[in-house]
Amino acid sequence: MTATAIRIQESALDPAHAVLDHTVPAGEPYLLAINQGQTLRIVDCEGNQAVDVIFYNRDEVAEHYSATETILRQSGIYLTTGSVLYSDDGNPMLTIVADTCGRHDTLGGACAAESNTVRYALQKKFMHSCRDNYLTALQHADIGLGKRDLVPNINFFMNVPVTETGDLTFADGVSAPGKYVELRAEMNLWMLVSNCPQMNNPCNAYNPTPARFLLWNP
Amino acid sequence: MEHPELALDNPPASAPVDAPEHWRRFAPDLDPAKVLFSELVPGGGHWSYRLPRGTALRITALDAGANLSVVLYSAQEKLERYNMPDSLKAQHTAHYTRGHVLMSDMGRSMASITADSLGWHDPLGLLLDNRLMREKYGDHAYQQYRNGMYRSGRDGLLIEIGKYGLAKRDLVAPVNFFSKVTVDEEGRFNYVPGHAQAGDYVDLRLDMDVIVAYSAAPHPLNPAPGYPANKIGLAVWRSGPAPADDYCRAFRPENARALHNSDMLYLI
C-alpha cells in the first residue's frame, strides 16, 4: 500500500465510552500501557501542537517502533489513515484507523538539549526538550527502557515535507484545534510521549499547548 | 559460487599477511604517506572498525549501483550514536553531499563529508532485512550457495554492532552511501537507478573516536531483478581533525556548532 496522500477519516467512537480520558499539559511527558485491540485517540486540543511519540512492545521491550520499517513498507514518508506502524522486527504495532489532520511526520525526530545547541545556539542547552521528557519518564518508570531506546519517533500533527530536490522543510502545521488521530493497537504496548516544549521554531506555533489522550476497549 | 575475493589461495608462510595496497587501484590520488589500510568489500559483505578522530574513510563504488549502509557509534560512550532525524533537521536536508556532517544524538558531528564525486547519498535509513530479501531474490542460503549466499543489510549490521555489545535495539537508521531516493509531493519514494557509477567516491572524516559498521548489501528499493552484489573499496587515511577553515564548518552555522561540540571532547 502507498499510504501517502492525505486521507481524512472521522471516528464513530464516543468519548463518553472511553476507558481513559487524560489531558497532558504543555511540555510534559506521559507513559501509558495500551492493550492489544484497544483504540487510542490523540487530540491536538488547541492546534499546531507536535506530540512526539515512541511505541514499544510491552511484552518484549527491546522491540520498538521503527520509522524506517514503516516508511519502507508503505513506500512513502507521511503517516495518515491506513498507515501501519511497524516495529524494527517488521511486526505491525498499530494501525491508523481515523485521522482528521491528514498528515503526520516520522522523519523530524524529537528535540534535545544537545540538538538545540546545534540548531539554534550553544546557550539553548538549558531549555526544556522532548528528550529530557523521554528520559524523565523512563527513569521514573524503570521498566527496562533507557536512552538507547529513544529511536526516531512519530511527530503527530507535524508537517515536515521532503522536496524532490532533497531538502527537508518545516511547513505550516496542517493541524488545527480539535483535530485528532486514532490508532488501533496490534500488540500490547508502551506509549512514550513528550508533549513537545520546543520554543525555538514554529512546530508548536511558539505556544506549546495540551494534548488529550483517550482509550477505548475493543 | 564463491566471491572471487574469497576464492584466493592462502598466502605463503614466507609472506603471511595478505594486505595488498588495494587503494592504489581505486583511490590512487590519496597521499601514500597518509594511507593506513584498505580493503575490498564484496557485495553483501560487512565489517566494522574502531577508528580515531582525524582519520578518514575513502569509500569508492567499484561497481555501478553499489550501496554501503553505514552506522556510527561513539567509541568512548556507545550510548552516543548517529541520529538520522537530528542530522537531517539541523541541516534541512534529505540528501547528503560534501559539507554535510553526520550528527550524533548528543549534538556532535561524528563524521563529515569532505569530498564527494556524486552529489547525493541517501540518508533515509532504509535497510534490507531477511524477509524483504527473500521476497525479492528468493532463498539463497549458505548450504546451497556457500559464500555466494545472499546477505541482508540488517543482519550484516547486527553482526557488526554485536561485536561491541550492542544489540538489535541499538541498531540505528543507517546512511546509504551511493544510493539516491527522492520523495514526491505525495511523500512517495522514487529510487533513482543508475546513480552511482564505478569509481564514484566519498570521503568521510571522523570528528570523534567512533565505531563504524557497514554492510554492502543492496538498497532495499533497488529494483534490479537479481541480488546486486556490487563491490566497494575502502581506504582509511590520516586526514587530521577539522581545521578552523574547514569546508564543513563553514557550510552551515549548525555544522560549525556540531563540530565545536565534537572539539569539546578533545580539549587537550
Q: Cβ contacts (< 8 Å) between A163 and chain B: which residues?
A: 94, 183
Look at residue B117 and tell me whether its pLDDT is greater than 80. yes
Rounded Cα gap, residues A183 and A214, in angstroms = 11
Strand (E) or helix (H) holding B205 = strand B201-206
3-class DSSP state of B182: strand
Domain hosting B243: range is 20-263
Rounded Cα gap, residues A108 and A85, in angstroms = 16
Quick one: average pLDDT of A141-151?
97
By the CB < 8 Å criterion, does B263 face chain A?
no
In this structure, what C-alpha cell is assigned to residue B159? 553482526
Strand (E) or helix (H) holding B237 = strand B232-238
* Per-residue pLDDT at B2: 46
* Per-residue pLDDT at A170: 84
Cβ contact A113:A132 at 8 Å: yes
Residue B3 CB-density burial (10 A; 0-12 exposed, 13-18 middle, 19+ buried): middle
* Per-residue pLDDT at A206: 87
Rounded Cα gap, residues B72 and B83, in angstroms = 9
User: Using one digit for the tens of pLDDT, what is the confidence trace for A108-142?
Assistant: 999 999 999 999 999 998 999 999 999 999 999 99
Residue B1's pLDDT band (cuts 50, 70, 90): very low
Rounded Cα gap, residues B140 and B130, in angstroms = 11
Look at residue A162 and tell me whether its pLDDT is greater than 50. yes
Look at residue B164 and tell me whether its pLDDT is greater than 60. yes
Cβ contact B100:B88 at 8 Å: no
Position B163: which residue type? K
* Per-residue pLDDT at A171: 81
* Per-residue pLDDT at B10: 82
DSSP state of B106: T
Give the residue extent of every domain in chain A. Answer: 24-216
Determine phi and psi for B41, rounding to 5 degrees.
-110, 120
Q: Is residue B12 part of a domain?
A: no
Partner residues linked to A211 by β-bridges? A24, A44
Using alpha carbons only, what angle is made at residue A109 by residues B132 and B250, rounded to the nearest 5 degrees?
110
User: Using one digit for the tens of pLDDT, what is the confidence trace for B200-230?
Assistant: 999 999 999 999 999 999 999 999 999 999 9
Lowest-confidence segment of A56-60, B17-21, B48-52 by average pLDDT:
B17-21
Quick one: average pLDDT of A191-208?
91
Cβ contact B200:B178 at 8 Å: yes
Rounded Cα gap, residues A141 and B163, in angstroms = 30
Q: Is residue B147 part of a domain?
A: yes
* Per-residue pLDDT at B7: 52
Quick one: average pLDDT of A187-200?
96
Q: Is residue B9 part of a domain?
A: no
Rounded Cα gap, residues B219 and B120, in angstroms = 14
Q: Is residue B8 part of a domain?
A: no
Q: Could B89 and A90 be called an inter-chain contact, meaning their C-beta atoms sit closer than 8 Å?
A: no
- What part of A 50-89 touches B (C-beta under 8 Å)? 62-64, 67-69, 71-72, 75-78, 88-89
- How close A16 comes to chain B (CA, Å)? 36
Q: Cβ contacts (< 8 Å) between B92 and chain A: which residues?
A: 167-170
B14 or A150, which is more confident: A150
Most B CBs within 10 A among A118, A122, A153, A194, hence the mutation to make, goes to A118
> What average pLDDT does chain B have?
95
Residue A1's pLDDT band (cuts 50, 70, 90): very low
Q: Is residue B129 part of a domain?
A: yes
By the CB < 8 Å criterion, does B110 face chain A?
no
Rounded Cα gap, residues B48 and B31, in angstroms = 24
Question: How many other CB atoms sit within 10 Å of the CB of residue B266?
Answer: 12
CA B242 to chain centroid: 20
By the CB < 8 Å criterion, does A109 face chain B?
yes
* Per-residue pLDDT at A194: 97
Cβ contact A166:A197 at 8 Å: no
Look at residue A2 and tell me whether its pLDDT is greater than 70. no
Cβ contact A35:A204 at 8 Å: no
Strands (E) across chain A are located at: 20-24, 29-34, 39-44, 51-57, 84-86, 92-99, 154-156, 179-185, 189-195, 211-216
Q: What share of chain A is helix, strand, coil (3-state, %, to 5)?
A: 20, 30, 50
Look at residue B170 and tell me whether its pLDDT is greater than 70. yes
Of B129, B185, B187, the CB nearest to A90: B129
Lowest-confidence segment of A67-76, A80-89, B14-23 by average pLDDT:
B14-23
- What part of B 182-211 touches A (C-beta under 8 Å)? 182-189
